[in-house]
């Protein structure tokens, strides 16, 4: 494997070996402490613009599986790992992680002291980096000059509506960078789903006469989306049961007067205990948070906090006082990660039922 380098904005250089695509790439460095599910992670659209560092050192060991895509066209900017295994286990023995990344033009670098890198990012906070062939001044100049787009949702969300037909409740999913786990959970519950583009208007939604609306996960900052999205949410939540996840949750909070802050260091992992406030239960779920709801800004006349991360104290769930609308910051569909909170989808179905 050819030698390549991971370089960071602060001047640090990590030599490693190339896998996946050989392109030069630049993105925000984020790390994920999940123990499983590299395929689900790298295909999750929330990593658009980002280079993902895996703390689990052994990556690629089960190849690529047909049922582990969180999107068919991944848009992550790169993978940084300690150890990569070139193995394929599907029936054709035809698709390893390495081949998959090549096909999607995503570069990877292995042989990196990822533990050191993570400990370093902890100090510097979120930082930009590149995977390059030569770690020279030119590479650093390019890195510093690269401006990452903030129109991420528009880049990854579906431009046109599409259906996922079934016999049950009629659900409209607004795609901000939709994670397929959400569709799988709705399918399991027989929901008849129509996925609409991120900029769908309230009228577009209402025209489909849904029993419920789900605001999906997605990449980037909720503050980069136009006010019209918040207007849509404010209109819908009054009339139709609403469930919002990830970026959807952040938008739901914004639409209801809360403020969003950017974390100095993003957190991606499934190891933090989360308290479900109403029952005092502790659950675990995949969290991917870069933006969180500022707890002091929550308008308590409108919103109730439902879930709390016990390690960093972040708000993990909200519920509207007046409307059948609720949201979670974490991924209740797992993929990867525990499905301790998968019953939130049942709750959503139940709410759609009571409204009937």
Partner 1 sequence: MDNEIQKVLIIGGGPTEIGHETELDAACVQVIQAFKKQGIRSLLIDNNPFSVALEDVQPTNIFIQAVTANNVQRIIEREQPDAILASVGGVTAISVVQELQENGVLADNDVKTLGIPADALMDINNPDRLNDVMRHVGVPVIASETVGTLDEAINVATKIGYPVIVKPIAPRIDTNRMLCENEQDMISAISRGFSWSRFKQCVIEQSIVGYKEIELVSMRDAMGTQVLIAGLENIDPIGIHSGDSMVVTPTLTLSNEEYETLRDTAFAINNQFQFTGVVHTHFALGSSENSYYVTKVTPYNDRGTSLVACATGYPIAYVAANLYLNQKLTDVHLPEIYHFKQTALLEPSLDHVVVRIPLWPFEDVKNADQHLSTVMKSVGSTIGVGRSTEEAILKALRSSQFSPQDELPSMNDLTDSQLISQLIHPLSSRILVLIEALRRGYQIDELTELTKIDPFYFVKLRHILEIEDHIKAHPMGVDALHEGRYYGFGDGMIARIWHTDIDTVRKLGQDNHISPTYKGIEPSAGELLNSPTAYYSTFELENESQQISAKTVLVLGRGGNQLGPNASADYFTTEMLKQLRKSGYQTVIMNTNPNAGSLTATLSDKQIIDPVQLGDIMNVIAIEHPVKIFVPGNRHYLTRELRHRNYVISILPPDQEKRSELLNDHANIGLDLFVTEGHIVPILASDLRSDRGIATTLDQITLMRTPATLTDQQLTAIIAHAKDYLGAHKRTGMVQMLYTTNGQQAPQFAGVRPTRLTTIAYLNKVTGINWVRMLVRQALGEIDEDLIAKLAVDIRSDRRSQVRGTFPFKQLQLPDQLGLTTQEVGARISFETL
Query: Strand pairing partners for 127?
Result: 29
Instruction: Out of 90, 105, 113, 151, name the contact with partner 1 by CB under 8 A.
Output: 113
305 forms part of the interface with partner 1 (CB under 8 A): no
Helix (H, G, I), strand (E, B) or coil at 174: strand
Q: Where are the alpha helices (DSSP H) in the chain?
A: 38-42, 97-103, 114-124, 137-145, 152-156, 180-188, 202-207, 227-239, 247-255, 343-355
Q: Which stretch binds partner 1 (CB under 8 A): 101-109, 113-121, 125-133, 135-143?
A: 113-121
333 is catalytic: yes
> Is the Cβ of residue 76 or residue 244 nearer to partner 1 in the bound state?
76
Report in angstroms the alpha-carbon separations of 226 from 140, 151, 153, 221. Answer: 33, 10, 11, 11
The Cα 208–Cα 223 span in angstroms is 27
Q: Which of residues 28-67 bind partner 1 (CB under 8 A)?
A: 31, 33-37, 40, 55-58, 61-62, 65, 67
Interaction of residue 339 with partner 1, rule CB under 8 A: yes
Of these, 1, 89, 350, 353, which contacts partner 1 (CB under 8 A)?
Answer: 89
Question: Which is catalytic among the residues 224, 333, 340, 343?
Answer: 333
Residue 326 CA to residue 173 CA, distance in Å, equals 14
Show contacts with partner 1 in window 117-156 (CB under 8 A).
118-119, 122
Task: Rounding to the nearest 10 degrees, give the CA dihedral for residues 31, 34, 35, 41.
Answer: -90
Q: Residue 311, interface with partner 1 (CB under 8 A)?
A: yes
Q: Which secondary structure element, helix H or strand E, spans residue 274, and what is its range?
A: strand 274-276
- Here's the x/- map for partner 1, 260-289, by CB under 8 A: it reads as -------x-xxxxx-x----xxx-x-----
Parallel/antiparallel/unpaired status of strands 3-8 and 13-20:
antiparallel
CB nearer partner 1, residue 4 or residue 267: 267
Residue burial 55-80, b: 16+ Cβ < 10 Å; e: rest: bbeebbebbbeeebbbbeebbbbbbb
CB of 343 to partner 1, least distance (A): 12
Q: 205 is written with which tokens?
A: 């939604």
- Identify which of residues 86 and 350 has a Cβ nearer to partner 1 in the complex: 86
111 known ligand binder: no
Helix and strand counts by DSSP (H, E) for the chain: 10, 21
188 binds partner 1 (CB under 8 A): no
Residues 202-261 that bind partner 1 (CB under 8 A): none
Residue 247 marked as a ligand binder: yes
The set of catalytic residues is 333
Residue list, annotated binding site: 218, 220, 247, 291
What is the contact surface with partner 1 in residues (CB under 8 A)? 14, 31, 33-37, 40, 55-58, 61-62, 65, 67-68, 82-83, 85-87, 89, 113-116, 118-119, 122, 267, 269-273, 275, 280-282, 284, 310-311, 334-339
């Amino acid at each position: 494997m050819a030698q390549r380098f991971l370089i960071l904005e602060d001047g640090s250089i990590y030599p490693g070996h190339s896998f996946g695509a050989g392109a030069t790439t630049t993105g925000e460095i984020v790390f994920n402490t999940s123990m499983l599910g590299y395929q689900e992670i790298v295909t999750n659209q929330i990593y658009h613009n980002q280079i993902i560092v895996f703390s689990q050192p052994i990556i690629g060991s089960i190849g690529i599986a047909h049922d582990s895509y969180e999107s068919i066209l991944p848009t992550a900017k790169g993978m940084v790992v300690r150890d990569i295994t070139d193995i394929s286990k599907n029936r054709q023995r035809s698709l390893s992680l390495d081949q998959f990344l090549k096909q999607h033009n995503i570069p990877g670098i292995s042989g990196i002291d990822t533990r050191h890198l993570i400990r370093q990012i902890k100090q510097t906070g979120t930082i930009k980096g590149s995977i390059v062939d030569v770690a020279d001044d030119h590479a650093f100049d390019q890195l510093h000059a690269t401006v990452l787009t903030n129109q991420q949702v528009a880049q990854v969300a579906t431009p046109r509506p599409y259906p996922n037909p079934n016999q049950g409740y009629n659900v409209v999913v607004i795609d901000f960078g939709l994670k397929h786990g959400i569709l799988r959970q709705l399918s399991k519950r027989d929901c008849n789903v129509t996925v609409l583009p991120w900029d769908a208007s309230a009228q577009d939604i209402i025209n489909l006469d849904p029993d419920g609306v789900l605001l999906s996960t997605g990449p980037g900052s909720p503050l980069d989306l136009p006010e019209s999205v918040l207007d849509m949410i404010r209109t819908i939540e009054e009339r139709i049961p609403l469930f919002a996840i990830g970026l959807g949750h952040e938008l739901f909070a914004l639409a209801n007067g809360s403020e969003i802050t950017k974390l100095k260091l993003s957190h991606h992992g499934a190891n933090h205990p989360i308290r479900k406030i109403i029952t005092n239960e502790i659950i675990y779920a995949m969290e991917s948070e870069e933006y969180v709801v500022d707890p002091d800004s929550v308008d308590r006349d409108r919103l109730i906090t439902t879930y709390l991360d016990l390690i960093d104290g972040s708000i993990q769930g909200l519920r509207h006082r007046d409307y059948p609308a609720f949201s979670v910051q974490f991924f209740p569909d797992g993929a990867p990660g525990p499905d301790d909170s998968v019953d939130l989808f049942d709750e959503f179905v139940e709410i759609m039922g009571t409204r009937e």
